[in-house]
Amino acid sequence: MAFALPFLGLPGLRLAAGLIGVVGVTGVIAVGASGQTAPTRTAPAADAGAIAERNSRIYRECARGADQILRGWIRLKRDPQTHLYSRDREWNYQNEAADHYSSLVLIAYHLDPRLNKGDGTLRTTLANSINLCTTQSGLPSSYDLKSGTPGKVDIGAICEWLRDGLLRITDLIGTDNDWYRELVRLTDAVLAEGERQGGISQIVQGTEDQGNLIQVLARLAVMSGNRKYLAVAETMADTYLLSDPLEKIARFSFVDHGCELVPGLTELLVVESKLGLPKAKVYREPLRRLLDRLLEVGRHPDSGLWYCRANLRGEQPEDQGQPKKLKTRGISGAEFNPDVPHCWGYVLFACENYDRATGEHRYLAATEKPMRWLVGNRSRFDELKNKEWPWNFSAGCFGDSYESMIILWNRYSDVPDVAEWLDWTTRIGGFRTQTHPDYGPGSGGHTDGCIGRNLCAHMMLQSLGVRAVPYQEGLACGAAPSNGGLCLFVQSEKAWSGRLCFDRPRHVHPTAAIDWARVNEMPQWYVVAPASVYEMRMDEAAPMRVQGESLASGIELDLEPGQWRRIQVHPEKGDILLFPEK
C-alpha cells in the first residue's frame, strides 16, 4: 500500500504568487509498497500515477463508508416534519447538533455538497432549528420532537454547539454561508446574555465551557476581524493568566470534555501574537509554566502519552501508570485501561500553538515522542491495548486517536511511517470493516459522526484534498505529488458526471491565517492559489492553462463505466502551495 505523505521545511519551495501572508509551504514524499520512505520530495511521473491509483482505492473504500453513514442518518434519524435529527426524539445542542448534525454537514461537503445548499435537507435543518428553537434571548433551547415543544436553554450545550459544531463547519467551508452567519449571531447572543447577567463568567462556568468559548472567540476574531471577540476572550483568559495559573488549576483532566481550556488559552496566545497585541507578552510566561507543569506530572515516562488526570500541585502524577484493574465499557463489555485517554493530541495541540506563537521549539520533542511511540509499537497493539495504549474500546476512541495523529503529523512530519499507522487505525477501529445494513461502518449511535469525519479525513489524505463530487458508489480518486505538482487518478465503476474540486487556502483570512493545530481541524495538503495559473494535462492530451479559482470551483469530468483518467496539474510559474508551514 502506498500513501502520499507530507514532508515539511524543504528548501526551494515558494508561496504561490499573490498570496501574501499565506501560512507556508510543505513538500511531499511517498511511501512505496515496501513501506520504506522515499528520500525524494516528489515521485517521478510513472511512479506518481501508480501511487495515485493505489490511493484511489482507499479513497473509494472510505467514501463508501462515509456515504452509508450520511444516507442512513438522513433516512432514519431525521424527523420528516422538522428535519431535526435525534436518536431518542429530542433535538439537543450538545449531541445531536454539535456531534451528529455537524458531522453530516461535513460529510456532505466532501461527498454531496448539494445537501448543504439551496433547499438541501441539511441546510433546511439549520433554518428550522433556528425557527423552532430560538428563544427571546436569541439563545436556542432543546426541542422535543414527540410533543413538538421547546425545552430548556443550556449554555454549556450552546458552547459545545458553537465550538464542536458551527466552528468546525465554518473552519472547513468558509464564511460565505448560513452556518457562519449563525456562528456570529449565536456568539453575539451568548455575549449579550453574559452582559445581562453581570459578565460572561456568570453564565459560562467550568473549564470545558470556558475552553470551548475561548476557542470560538479566538478564531471568530480572525474570521470576522472584530476585536470585540478578543476582548471577551481576554477577560476569560485573564482569570487564569494574570497570575500563576497553577494557583487556579490544581487538578487537570486530559480527557475529552475536560481538557478544552488549555487549547483555548493557547489559541488565544497565537491570535494575540499574530496581531502583535500586548497580551501576547503577558500570557506567554504563565502559559509556559502551565504547559511545563502538565508535561512534568501528566505524562507516562516511556510513551510520552498523557495520563487521564494530573495533580498539578503534587509531586507525582495522579495516575502512576501502573496497570489498574481493567474497566469494562458498554454492552460489549470491552476491557480497557482507564489511565491513558484517547484524545491524546488535544493538549499537544496547545504545545504546538505555544511554539507557533513564540517561535520557540520548546515542545517539539515532547510532541513527537508519543507519535513515535504509537507508530513504533503498532505491531504490539494486542499486547499493549489494555496497558499503555490509549483507550480503544470504541470506534470513537480510535477516531479521536486518529484525529490527534493526523493533525499533529500535518505539522510534525519528520515522524516516519505515520500514513501506515493512520490507515491501520481506520481498519482496526472498524471504520472500513463493519457492515451495518443501514449505517455501513456506523451503528446509528453516538460515534457515527466521529467515524464519518475520520473517513473523510482519510479520503482527503489519499487525494491530497481533491474532492470528487457528487459521490456515487464505486467512485475512486487518488493523488500523488509529481514533479512539483499533482498527479490525479480518477475512476468510476458506473457512468459518472461531476467535478474534481481542489482545496483552496481556506485557512487564510484578511486578519490573519488560522494555521495552528486545533481540535476538530480537517488538515489541508495540496492547496491551489485562486489567483495563480496552472497547467493541466488530461491523460496524453495537450496541456491547457487553468486558473486556480477554476480548479477550486471544480474541473468538470465525465466517465464511462470502468473508465479511468489521469490528470497532471502543475503551477505555471513553478510556484507550489502546500499546507502547512513547519
Residue 377's Cβ-side half-sphere holds a number of Cα atoms within 13 Å equal to 20
What pLDDT sits at residue 18? Answer: 24
Residue 35's pLDDT band, with cuts at 50, 70 and 90, is very low
φ and ψ at residue 475, rounded to 5 degrees: -85, 130
pLDDT tens per residue across span 156-175:
999 999 999 999 999 999 99
Quote the longest CA-to-CA distance of the chain: 69
Residue appearing with cell numbers 507556508? 24
pLDDT, tens digit, 9 for 90 and up, residues 175-213:
999 999 999 999 999 999 999 999 999 999 999 999 999
pLDDT tens for 507-545 read: 999 999 999 999 999 999 999 999 999 999 999 999 999
Give the per-residue pLDDT at 317: 53
pLDDT score for 486: 94
- Edge-to-edge order in the sheet of strand 90-91: 90-91, 143-144, 149-150
Percent of the chain with pLDDT over 90: 81
pLDDT beyond 60 at 26: no
Q: Is this prediction's pTM over 0.85? A: yes
Span 374-383, mean pLDDT? 97
Alpha-carbon gap, residue 460 to 59, rounded angstroms: 8
Minimum mean pLDDT among 312-321, 339-348, 553-562: which range?
Answer: 312-321
Domain ranges of the chain: 3-76+206-571
Cα torsion at 302, 307, 311, 312 (round to 10°)? 60
Digit-coded pLDDT (tens) for 444-496: 999 999 999 999 999 999 999 999 999 999 999 999 999 889 999 999 999 99
Alpha helices in 35-77 (DSSP H): 45-76
Residue 312: C-alpha distances to residues 247, 265, 298, 357 (Å): 9, 17, 8, 24
pLDDT class of 41 with cuts at 50, 70, 90: very low
